[in-house]
Amino acid sequence: MTEGRIGVGVVGLSARGGWGAGAHLPAMAAAGGFELRGLVAGSPESARVASQRFSAPAYASAGELAAADDVDLVVVAVKTPRHRELVLPALAAGAAVLCEWPVAVDRAEAEEMAAHASGRPTFVGLHGRSAPAFRYLADLVADGCVGDLLSVTLVSAVTEWGTPVSRRMAYTLDRTQGATMLAIAFGHAIDPVLMATGELRDVVATTAVRRTTVPLEGTGRAAPVTADDQVAVSGTLPGGAVLSAHQRGGVAAGPGFSVQLDGTAGTLVATAPDHPHLTTVTIRGARRGEELAPVEVPAGHDAFPHLGGTPLHALAHAYAGVREELHGGPRTVPDLAHAVRRHALLDAVLASAASGRRVDL
């Protein structure tokens, strides 16, 4: 595709709301150049209502949607356990695919999907790395602002995975479903950090399920928890720097995200009040011997300043990258091959925690 508006079909678009309607559609509108041309919903009735609500035809399956002549990009915005069964037929029909993160329940599923891409453009919903602040943080490290990197300390905290959960989200408490705290919260937190530092070469991890049950909202019952709600990881970065990270679940208060990069020439600190791919990321920095001071992200890094502080900010930048790539521009949004790399890290964390040994990546 080299010109014209990009025809989009969304799997998981509901008239009742959700991430597809509440985030993907407005982010596409903000980025510009996209047009909704089809959808797949959870049932014939919900498809009928959504078709009327969004003025787009409903299709019975992801494969039929992807095969439509006017659909160029299929967006898969449903629960993680269903990604494989929807992504594979969309790829087989020849469409470009954007799949939400986590892409798969494990590395093996991610590898299977990536193997079926066959050179087609694919995109993954790790949109935190598209946020202006994280892109600038990566530029600062690459430009030598901290000198040679010595260590990276990451702390990420979420209220989920410990507080009352809705019936709809109860599946995230099951470690076999792929939508765990490790995959969602830690995956979104570590990915933009590794964009700045380079990939981990190995990991040593400790995990725990500290809350074995949480209240199931509106039922008076408890939901079982098998997904880890505490994850501690350390590992080696390119050049020998050491990264340590702690992902905490069910916290009561405090910042949601903080990462400190220390080097031979200085320090950079990035913080966010909650999930860093959904909220404002602030950078501070200091040369050796100086006090930390605010670092402003250059205006040229932010194409959508009016969305700053909203969950759409990073996602709109990701869609702008998708648009540019589909029109022949460079790749700036992670693809299914990148998803395999990130799932490999998550699987390595679990393997290390289970064995008590260092796992190479």
Closest CA to 188 of 242, 259, 117: 259
Cα gap 360→314, rounded to integer Å: 31
Q: Give the Cβ contact number of residue 44 at 10 Å.
A: 10
Q: How confident is the model at residue 131 (pLDDT cuts 50, 70, 90)?
A: very high
* Contact indicator for 247, 241 with CB cutoff of 8 Å: no
Question: How far lies 121's CA from each of 46, 54, 108, 306, in Å?
Answer: 29, 26, 20, 29
Q: What is the pLDDT of residues 40-67, one digit of tens each?
A: 998 999 999 999 999 999 999 999 999 9
* Contact indicator for 334, 129 with CB cutoff of 8 Å: yes
Q: Which residue has the higher pLDDT, 101 or 42?
A: 101
Question: How far lies 278's CA from each of 67, 128, 315, in Å?
Answer: 32, 8, 8
Q: What is the pLDDT of residues 218-277, one digit of tens each?
A: 999 999 999 999 999 999 999 999 999 999 999 978 779 999 999 999 999 999 999 999
Query: Where in the chain are the domains?
Result: 6-100, 129-302+336-360
User: Residue 237: its pLDDT value, please?
Assistant: 98
User: Who's near 167: CB < 8 A, 6+ residues apart?
Assistant: 216, 217, 218, 219
Pairing of strands 34-40, 6-11: parallel
Residue 286 confidence (pLDDT) above 60: yes
Cα gap 107→7, rounded to integer Å: 30
Cα gap 196→283, rounded to integer Å: 13
Cα gap 72→76, rounded to integer Å: 13
CA angle in degrees (0–180, nearest 5) for 265-269-270: 145
User: Residue 3: its pLDDT value, please?
Assistant: 65
Pairing of strands 122-124, 96-99: parallel
Average pLDDT, integer, range 73-89: 97
Q: How many helices (H) and strands (E) does the chain have?
A: 11, 16
User: Residue 148: its pLDDT value, please?
Assistant: 98
Question: How far lies 116's CA from each of 94, 121, 349, in Å?
Answer: 10, 11, 26
Cα gap 215→145, rounded to integer Å: 47
* Contact indicator for 40, 65 with CB cutoff of 8 Å: yes
Question: How far lies 78's CA from each of 282, 294, 318, in Å?
Answer: 30, 38, 18
CATH superfamily of the 129-302+336-360 domain: Dihydrodipicolinate Reductase; domain 2 (3.30.360.10)
Cα gap 121→123, rounded to integer Å: 7
222 phi/psi in degrees, rounded to 5: -110, 145
- Min mean pLDDT across 249-258, 262-271, 289-298, 352-361 is at 249-258
Q: What is the pLDDT of residues 164-199, one digit of tens each?
A: 999 999 999 999 999 999 999 999 999 999 999 999
Q: What is the pLDDT of residues 330-350, one digit of tens each?
A: 999 999 999 999 999 999 999
* Contact indicator for 315, 101 with CB cutoff of 8 Å: no
Enter the CATH code of domain 6-100.
3.40.50.720
Closest CA to 315 of 132, 128, 170, 145: 128
Cα gap 330→341, rounded to integer Å: 20
Cα gap 193→59, rounded to integer Å: 39
Give CA 307 to chain center in angstroms.
Answer: 18
Structure tokens at 301: 């890094």
- The pLDDT > 90 percentage for the chain reads 95
Residue 294, preceding peptide bond in cis (omega within 30° of 0): no
* Contact indicator for 133, 278 with CB cutoff of 8 Å: no
Residue 2 confidence (pLDDT) above 70: no
User: Who's near 273: CB < 8 A, 6+ residues apart?
Assistant: 255, 256, 257, 279, 280
- Arithmetic mean of pLDDT over the chain: 96
* Contact indicator for 222, 176 with CB cutoff of 8 Å: no
